[in-house]
Amino acid sequence: MKLTVLGRYGKYPNKNGATCSYLVESKSGAKIILDMGSGSLKNLANVCAYEDIDAVVISHFHGDHCADAFVFRNIALEQTKKGLRAPISFFMPEQPQEEYYALSSCEGFAAQAVCGGMKTSIKDFCLEFFEMSHTLPTFGVRVTDGEKCLAYTADTTYTKTIKTLVEGCDLALVDACILQREHSAESPHISVYGIAELTKSVPVTILTHLSQGREDETLSEALGINKNARLAEELITLTL
């Protein structure tokens, strides 16, 4: 299994980067996109042809996770109408209803609403969805190929679901945007320290959804409790 980070920031991209998006590839060539944040399509085009994507997962409908999905529907529709491919499997929350309808109504997408506990297969990948705790309905996902396992928390505050999601995984992509000193009970995200502690038994913890200008502090805080932590780096491919 291979992971390529297409976007690593939360809120908005910097001039050369993108917000949350990740390409996961299996040994047999199956390709899944986890989130399509702002700027991610530009990075995707550097590593993969659009028509090679087998499925897209949108964790929730905040713009830094889904902005480019509304552009990708134009690509999917054009390719489908030209007979270049069948509609792309497209997994996303059913709420907010307006955003769900805007994407599910695209003829280029074979849309499926996700829920906690849902399991599905894309070629040799198995996907399992986990309900997280955020300001909109949000779902983390566990991706396995029979040999390796990757977990993506998406955005979340502390929830017991995180431990279940990452247990036994080889790599965890985690929400790491709020430093412990700035965290409070009202924060919509878990602290960097908190997520690092929950994933310290995972062989590789990738810190993502980063706050710009806080990258070094984020890594330092995570390494204080999780020696396996590292920052997400755009267009770098990791092989599990």
pLDDT tens digit string along 96-152? 999 999 999 999 999 999 999 999 999 999 999 999 999 999 999 999 999 999 999
Measured distance CA(200)–CA(187) in Å, rounded? 22
Q: How far is CA 152 from CA 20, 42, 213, in A?
A: 11, 22, 23
**For residue range 174-185, what is the model confidence (pLDDT) as tens digits?**
999 999 999 999
Q: Which of 179, 126, 178, 184 is nearest to 155 (CA)?
A: 178
Please report the pLDDT score of residue 178 as a whole number.
Answer: 97
Distance separating alpha carbons of residues 203 and 212, to the nearest angstrom: 26
Query: How much of the chain exceeds pLDDT 70, in percent?
Result: 100
Radius of gyration of the chain (CA): 17
Q: What's the mean pLDDT in 8-29?
A: 95
Evaluate whether 164 touches 131 at the Cβ level (below 8 Å).
Answer: no
The answer, yes or no, to whether residue 15 has pLDDT greater than 90, is no
Per residue in 157-170, pLDDT (tens digit) is: 999 999 999 999 99
Closest CA to 141 of 110, 120, 160: 120
The amino acid that residue 109 corresponds to is F
Mean pLDDT of the chain: 97
- Cα 38 from Cα 63, distance rounded (Å): 7
Domains of the chain, each with CATH number or no CATH: 2-239 (3.60.15.10)
How many beta carbons lie within 10 A of that of residue 187, not counting itself? 14
